[in-house]
C-alpha cells in the first residue's frame, strides 16, 4: 500500500511505516498536483497546511482511486471536508495527543511573555535602549486563569498553572470534567473573574468579540493558542487601543500566510500591549516526533486491521439511529469462508450487522460481531452449528 505524507513526516514515523511494509512518499504536492495524483495512494497524511477538499477526496476515490483514509497529525480537522469524506467512504483519523504538552507550554509561555513584557524588553535592548520602569510586569502567582475549552490542552495548561499557584476556572461546552478546574456555568462568568483568559476551543466561530472583551477585567490578559477565528481581531484591536484590557498574546490569526517566509501584515502589530508568535503552539521537536508516530500508528492499524480508533467522521459504538446494540463473541478456526458463513447465517435470520472485529486467539480466532438485534438461542445455535466454530457467547 502507498501513503502520501503531504505535509512532511518525521524520520522516526517514516521508518516505522516502511517497516510495516508501506511505500511512503513525503514529497509535497501543490493542490493541482494533489488532485491529479491522490487516486494512486491508499492513505493521505496531512497537518494544517494541506487543504483536503471535496475535490481532493473525489479524485482519491473515483475512477478506480485507492484512497481509504486521511490522517491528520494534530487535533484540528478544519482543513478536511469531513462530510465529503463520509459521503465518499473515506475514514478520517487524527493524532490528538502528541501536541498537547507543547501547546499547553506555549500558552503558558505567552502568559509569562505578556505579563512580564519579555519580548518588548528584548526588543528595546536589541535596539540599544535600557528600560526598567517602562516594563514593570505582573506575576502569575495568586492570579485566576480562565480556561475556555477544557479538553486535553486546556486541562494540561490548568495543571501547569495550578503548579504556579494560580486558581483555575473554566467553561467547556462538551462538559469535560477535570479536578484541577473549577467549572463555571457560562463563558461570561469565566471572563468576569479571570486575570488571564486562555482559549482552547477550536472551530471557526468567534468566541471572544466586543461583548466578551467588555466583560473582562481592565487589567486582564487574553491568550489565544487555539484558532485565529476564535477572536475578533477588530474588537481586540479596539479594546487594546483603548486600554480596556491589560494586553493580549496571540499564536494564531484570522488570516495567516501559507508558506514559510511569506510576509505577514496585521494592524495588531502596531500596538505595544500585545505579544505575537507565528502559530508555534505545536512546533517543538518532541511534539513532532510524538505526533508523527501517533498518526503513523493509527493509520497503520486501520489499513492492516480495520481499527476505527481515533476516527473523527464515523459513528461510535453507540448506534446513531437510537437503537440498542448487542455483541456476539465467536471463537472459530482460522480458515477461509468463516466470515461469509457468519454473515449468511445472520442474514437469513434478519439480523442487522453493525460491525465486526477479529483477533488471533492461540490456534483460533475470536471475532466479535456488533448487531442491532438482541441475540436469541436460535441465532446462537445456528452460528454454533457452522463447521469450524468452537464457541459462541453473548
pTM: 0.75
Give CATH for domain 100-281. 3.40.50.720
Q: Are strands 364-371 and 353-361 parallel, antiparallel or unpaired?
A: antiparallel
What is the structure's pLDDT at 317?
Answer: 40
Is-same-fold flag (2-98+286-305; 100-281)? yes
In Å, what is the CA distance from 75 to each residue of 48, 71, 122, 136, 194?
A: 10, 11, 33, 37, 26
What is the structure's pLDDT at 3?
Answer: 98
d(CA 334, CA 323): 32
Cell 475535490 maps to which residue? 55
What is the structure's pLDDT at 308?
Answer: 78
- Environment class of residue 115 by beta-carbon count within 10 Å: exposed (0-12), middle (13-18) or buried (19+)? buried
Could you state, in chain order, the average pLDDT of each consecutive group of 10 residues for the chain (394 residues)?
Answer: 96 96 96 96 94 97 93 88 92 91 97 97 97 96 97 95 98 83 96 98 91 98 96 98 98 92 96 96 92 95 82 58 70 91 91 82 84 90 94 84
User: Domain ranges in the chain?
Assistant: 2-98+286-305, 100-281, 326-393
Topology given in CATH for the domain delimited by 2-98+286-305: Rossmann fold (3.40.50)
What is the structure's pLDDT at 315?
Answer: 59
Residues recognised as catalytic: 227, 256, 279
Top-level class of domain 326-393? alpha beta
Amino acid at each position: 500500500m502507498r501513503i502520501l505524507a503531504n505535509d512532511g513526516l518525521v524520520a522516526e514515523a517514516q521508518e516505522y511505516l516502511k517497516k510495516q511494509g508501506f511505500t511512503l512518499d513525503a514529497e509535497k504536492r501543490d493542490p493541482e498536483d494533489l488532485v491529479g495524483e491522490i487516486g494512486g495512494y491508499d492513505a493521505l497524511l496531512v497537518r494544517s497546511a494541506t487543504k483536503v477538499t471535496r475535490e481532493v477526496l473525489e479524485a482519491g476515490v473515483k475512477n478506480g482511486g485507492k484512497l481509504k483514509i486521511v490522517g491528520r497529525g494534530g487535533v484540528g480537522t478544519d482543513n478536511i471536508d469531513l462530510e465529503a469524506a463520509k459521503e465518499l467512504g473515506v475514514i478520517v483519523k487524527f493524532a490528538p495527543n502528541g501536541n498537547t504538552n507543547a501547546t499547553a507550554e506555549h500558552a503558558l509561555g505567552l502568559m509569562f511573555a505578556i505579563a512580564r513584557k519579555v519580548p518588548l524588553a528584548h526588543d528595546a535592548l536589541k535596539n540599544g535602549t535600557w528600560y526598567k520602569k517602562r516594563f514593570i510586569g505582573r506575576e502569575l502567582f495568586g492570579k485566576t486563569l480562565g480556561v475556555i475549552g477544557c479538553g486535553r490542552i486546556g486541562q494540561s495548561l490548568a495543571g501547569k498553572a495550578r503548579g504556579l499557584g494560580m486558581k483555575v476556572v473554566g467553561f467547556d461546552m462538551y462538559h469535560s470534567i477535570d479536578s484541577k478546574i473549577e467549572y463555571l456555568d457560562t463563558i461570561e462568568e469565566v471572563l468576569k473573574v479571570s486575570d488571564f483568559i486562555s482559549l482552547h476551543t477550536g472551530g471557526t466561530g468567534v468566541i471572544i468579540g466586543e461583548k466578551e472583551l467588555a466583560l473582562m477585567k481592565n487589567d486582564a490578559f487574553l491568550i489565544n493558542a487555539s484558532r485565529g477565528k476564535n477572536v475578533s481581531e477588530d474588537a481586540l484591536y479596539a479594546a487594546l487601543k483603548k486600554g480596556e484590557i491589560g494586553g493580549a498574546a496571540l499564536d494564531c490569526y484570522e488570516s495567516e500566510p501559507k508558506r514559510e517566509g511569506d510576509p505577514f501584515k496585521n494592524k495588531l502589530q502596531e500596538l505595544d500591549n500585545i505579544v505575537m508568535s507565528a502559530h508555534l503552539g505545536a512546533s517543538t521537536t518532541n511534539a513532532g516526533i510524538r505526533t508523527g508516530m501517533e498518526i503513523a500508528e493509527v493509520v497503520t492499524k486501520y489499513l492492516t486491521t480495520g481499527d476505527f480508533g481515533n476516527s473523527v467522521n464515523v459513528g461510535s459504538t453507540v448506534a446513531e439511529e437510537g437503537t440498542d446494540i448487542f455483541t456476539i463473541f465467536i471463537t472459530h478456526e482460522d480458515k477461509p469462508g468463516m466470515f461469509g458463513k457468519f454473515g449468511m447465517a445472520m442474514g437469513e435470520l434478519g439480523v442487522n450487522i453493525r460491525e465486526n472485529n477479529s483477533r488471533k486467539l492461540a490456534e483460533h480466532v475470536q471475532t466479535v460481531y456488533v448487531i442491532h438485534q438482541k441475540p436469541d438461542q436460535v441465532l446462537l445455535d445456528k452460528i454454533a452449528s457452522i463447521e469450524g466454530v468452537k464457541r459462541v457467547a453473548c
